Amino acid sequence: MEKKTRRSMLKGAALAAGAATLTAADAVAQKTETPQKKNYGYGANRKAGEPAPLFNAAISYGNMLFLAGVGYHKPGTIQEATKNVLDELEQNLKAAGSSMDKVLKVNVYLNDIKDYAGMNEAYKGRFGDMPPVRTTIAPMGGVPGNSLVEIDVIAYI
C-alpha cells in the first residue's frame, strides 16, 4: 500500500478544486443567460403599428408564468364567481403550457371580506395536493368592475 505524502494530497486537492472551479464557472455562465420573455396575452397577436395594450393577460419569463387578475363580472354568489374565475385561470394556465398543480402563488381580491368563507368553499382542492401560497385581501373601494372576486397567479411552465 502506497503511503500518501502531504505533497501528493495537496496536489490532488488542488486539482479537484480547479475542476470544481470550472464546474462552478460553467454553472454561473449558464445561469446568466437571459431568459426569453413570452407573451400569451392581449399583445401576442398585435399587428405592426398597433399600440401596446394596457397590460397582458399572461406573460412568461424563463419557466415562470405570470397571469393577470381574472374577475367575474356577472351577478351570482361568491361560490359561483370563484368557481368561474378559477375555471378561466385553469384554461389560461393550460393554454400557456402550465396547470393548476404548477401554481406557486395566488392573490385573491374580495369585494367584501365577509365573502372569505364562501370563496374558500369554491377554492378548496383546486390546486392539487400541495396548494400554493396565498394572500387574500379586500381592497378599500372594492374590486374593479364590481366583481365579487378577482384572482391572479404565478406558476411555472
Q: Residue 5: give the domain boundaries.
A: 1-33
Residue 21 sits in the same domain as residue 86: no
Kindly state whether residues 19 and 65 are assigned to the same domain: no
Same domain, 79 and 108: yes
Number of domains in the chain: 2
- Domain identity same for 61 and 82: yes
Q: Give the pLDDT of residue 48.
A: 77
pTM of the model: 0.72
Mark whether 71 and 127 lie in a shared domain: yes
> Do 137 and 65 belong together in one domain?
yes
Specify the pLDDT at position 5.
58
Same domain, 44 and 18: no
Residues of the chain where predicted confidence (pLDDT) is lower than 50 = 10, 15-22, 25, 42
* Co-location of 11 and 44 in the same domain: no
At 42 the pLDDT is: 47
Judgement on whether residues 114 and 140 belong to the same structural domain of the protein: yes
3-state secondary structure the chain: CCCCCHHHHHHHHHHHHHHHHHHHHHHHHHHCCCCCEEECCHHHHCCCCCCCCCCCCEEEECCEEEEEEEECCCCCCHHHHHHHHHHHHHHHHHHCCCCHHHEEEEEEEECCHHHHHHHHHHHCCCCCCCCCEEEEECCCCCCHHHCCEEEEEEEEC
Does 29 share its domain with 44?
no
- Model pLDDT, residue 36: 65
Say yes or no: 69 and 108 in one domain.
yes
pLDDT reported for residue 12:
56
The per-residue pLDDT for 117 is: 98
List pLDDT tens digits, range 108-124.
Answer: 999 999 999 999 999 99
